Amino acid sequence: MISGRRLIVGVTGGIAAYKTAGLVSQLVQSGADVTVVMTRSSQEFVGQATFAALTAKPVATELFDSHYPLGAHIELAQNADLLCVAPASARCLARFAQGTSDDLLSTLYLCFAGPILLAPAMNVQMWENPAVQRNVQRLRDDGVHFVGPEDGWLSCRQSGVGRMVDPEQIAASIADLLS
């Protein structure tokens, strides 16, 4: 059940970020309290105003933010039931797998003790790259959950595995993890 649950939706850089607006809208309409965390590169694809309007909350983008006196990564991690990253770029997967904490989202990942769901999205060659697959396996071994990617048309004008699954499938995976 999603209603009444506190969710963090992380957005990384990739064209699939436009789908995340639909996911956030669906989660909010289902009664979830959603906070969006955006990486710098994600803001090249979708603006903060979109997610602020959908959630009726400010979007978190920086480690040092006066809205969070203890640190955004600490306060967000302590006050959420689930962390979902959609899209999860190859860069995001690498940061998480290696424990790198050089932005708000990667630092939040290291602080978060609840269930984590990643919805990867990237070019088919990137997805199939052995380094990416090693990172995915490391994250699975660490207990991180995945939904997708799926086979389909990609923004690079190719078809193949790497397409982020639809928001409905991500929302269903969130509900499953919270049940």
Q: Which letter, b or e, does each residue of 94-106 get, where b requires 16 or more Cβ atoms within 10 Å of its Cβ? A: bbbbeeebebbbb
| Residues whose CB is less than 8 angstroms from the CB of residue 12 and which lie 6 or more positions away in sequence, other chains included | 39, 41, 42, 85, 87, 88, 89, 91, 92, 105
Pairing of strands 33-38, 82-88: unpaired
Encoded amino acid at 53, one letter: A
Task: Tell me whether residue 84 is one of the annotated catalytic residues.
Answer: no
Encoded amino acid at 177, one letter: L
Rounded Cα distance, 16 and 35, in Å: 19
Cα 171 to the chain's mean position, in Å?
12
Encoded amino acid at 59, one letter: V
Residue from 84, 92, 111, 156 carrying the catalytic annotation: 156
Could you give the residue numbers annotated as active site? Answer: 156
